[in-house]
Amino acid sequence: MISAAEQLLAAGTRNFALLFVVGEEKDSLGALCAAKNSRGSKFVINGEPTENKLALGSKGALRYVLSTRGRLAHSAYPELGDSAIEKLLDLLAEIRNVPLPQDALLGKSTLNIGTLSGGRAANVVADEAHADLMFRTVGDPQSIRAAMRAVVNGRGELQEMLHTPALHLEAMEGFETTVVSYTTDIPNFAGAWGKPFLIGPGSIHVAHTAEERIPKPQLLDAIGIYTRFTQKLLAGAD
């Protein structure tokens, strides 16, 4: 994007800017702050990895922390305790069987149990346990929220930590399209930075792995893509 900006400036193109935000992987505080401090832009291009294809939609995210409590006891006498870990496992088994919504464009909602922790030692009945859960949503999350409340129903503590809505986006003539299953900061801008588009180099399939990388040809192609995209948007805004 910086290289595309340099080329646009060298060609005499003006009336565009670069926006950098922090916290996208954690709490999106950068985008939430930007949403309160708009600069009057009509369009925003988000550069998440789409293999340089224009995304027509992206799934949302609904994150929970599920906690359970128990009673400590020596593991030789489990009947004297109350295992928080066993309670948590029972709840997770039921949650995994909850039917999830589907969407014609975005496909199926999915669930990932991202972390599990609890207990004190192998010879102690656990008095606490918790799990981090992430749903990838395809629409209104109310049915998932209701299902989670119905399953937990006082048997644990359920905290909703984050909700980012699913998105349907628009195509643009001359750009190949795709659909992605991850979540972006676009909803957190709340429209304050203009109509959103989602396109960038790299594959999400290697993100957050030891093989995370972006092919050099895609990086080079992205410079031209961002340059052409910006010129098209500016021409349409005149």
Q: Which two tokens stand for residue 38?
A: 């708009």
Which of 120, 138, 164 is at the close of a domain?
Answer: 164
Q: Which two tokens stand for residue 120?
A: 């004190």
pLDDT grade for 44, boundaries at 50, 70 and 90: very high
Spell out the alpha helix ranges (H) of the chain.
2-10, 29-35, 84-96, 142-152, 216-237
* Residue 129 identity (one-letter amino acid): A
Dihedral (CA of 208, 212, 216, 218) sign = negative
The tally of domains found in the chain comes to: 2
Q: Which two tokens stand for residue 39?
A: 């600069």
118, 173: one domain:
no
31, 45: one domain:
yes
pLDDT one-digit tens code per residue, 104-159: 999 999 999 999 999 999 999 999 999 999 999 999 999 999 999 999 999 999 99
d(C-alpha 84, C-alpha 92), whole Å = 12
183, 158: one domain:
no
174, 126: one domain:
no
Structural domain harbouring 198: 2-58+167-237
* Residue 40 identity (one-letter amino acid): G
157, 206: one domain:
no
C-alpha distance from residue 227 to each of 107, 132, 234 (Å): 32, 40, 11
41, 81: one domain:
no
d(C-alpha 95, C-alpha 92), whole Å = 5
Those residues with Cβ within 8 angstroms of residue 11's Cβ, 6 or more apart along the chain or in another chain:
none
CA dihedral 93, 99, 100, 104 (to 10 degrees): 150
Q: What is the CATH number of the domain that holds 97?
A: 3.30.70.360
* Residues labelled as active-site residues: 24
pLDDT grade for 236, boundaries at 50, 70 and 90: confident
**pLDDT at 237 (0 to 100):** 65
d(C-alpha 88, C-alpha 83), whole Å = 9
Q: What is the mean pLDDT of the chain?
A: 96
Question: Inter-axis angle of helices 142-152 and 84-96, to 10 degrees?
Answer: 140
Those residues with Cβ within 8 angstroms of residue 136's Cβ, 6 or more apart along the chain or in another chain:
59, 60, 61, 109, 110, 111, 112, 181, 182, 183
Percent of the chain beyond pLDDT 90?
Answer: 95
- 215-226 in b/e form (b: 16+ CB < 10 A) is eeebeeebbebb
pLDDT one-digit tens code per residue, 71-82: 999 999 999 999
Is 228's pLDDT higher than 70?
yes
Is 205's pLDDT higher than 80?
yes
54, 65: one domain:
no
Is 238's pLDDT higher than 60?
no
- The average pLDDT across 11-23 equals 95
